[in-house]
Structure 1
């Protein structure tokens, strides 16, 4: 019941942040088109609205958009600093005939930020020599295979993150009704902090630090020699096989 209440609240947040509720309606004409956009180099991605973003790692930065031909001009893609921004043009309610997709390639990703109802899917394994941050607000979703020295996840609303791969340090911060499904991200040292009704599934081979307030839960795998936990409310921390 508590998680349902958090979900309702998160949907309200999403409605305000998606950018596709309200505004002038523009329907796709059914002429599906793939368009390449010219962009400068970037090492971070920020996505808004209801666009699916497919992330790949490659030798150079590039962006390709799949959408109805008449909707292409309503999808904004630009680089601000070192960050690639992907969003619907403000004031327009896009109605595509299929799922709009943005294909993104870069040599390195330091941060990926999602808001609204975006889905970000890793098309290739991301191998970083530097830490990577993942942020989700609203009902966004990130699914990736990552190999990096540190992975940090921050979520609010009703988002979902599913990760696999390897890291030395893994930090998870959840609020609202977010879910982090990360049993397959093999981490040595894992820190989890949950407020609200979020659920985290993590792995720790050396140390686990878990703090839960509200109705959240932490399930963990791995043979961590050190497990520190602090739980208040109806939350829980539990090892599973």
Structure 2
């Protein structure tokens, strides 16, 4: 099976390419560095020539008000080009709870991306993942200084990028879902507690201050970011990942 992986050199994409290649598929990574610009469409017809499946793992450079325009343009270009190329399955990676946090522009943008894919003519699958372990340090950096890290007690169920890539690869070679599959880590944490675990593992002695107005995830409440029944629950725990 030939699979075009757009965003195939990034955190998830490079892993997806490696997994699919190891399974004997022709997984071809595409990105700006390989000559594909999904925003303009340059290189897209060539990337999709002969592809059975296209996996879109691209994201904008910022999470701000520019995100909706990015997803509207890139997803629109991809759906049109995939249909023209006769691609039989389009897969995207989205976010668990994206439709539950309307105050976050990036989450609204991911819902927009999903809706464009659903409305198109190409059979599709959507994989929704919870926050990556690999992104936790970035989240902490948003609301930190040399003395403290301020974090809300928002509930999260983070997951390893390796496990997300496995889920994307599995869906990519299967029958189109015509719907969504969630993947999440095996444990639920309050974000402030996750911060304390992370700092302790790093030997960082700063204090974590619980502040329910701090940072992007202050906009999420309750179980919005927790996987629902039927989700794939990955095996890797956060402490196991930290220990590596």
Whether these two folds match at TM > 0.5 is no
The structure whose residues are more often strand, as a share, is: 1
The structure whose residues are more often helix, as a share, is: 2
Q: TM-score range by the shorter chain?
A: under 0.3
TM-score w.r.t. structure 2 length? 0.25
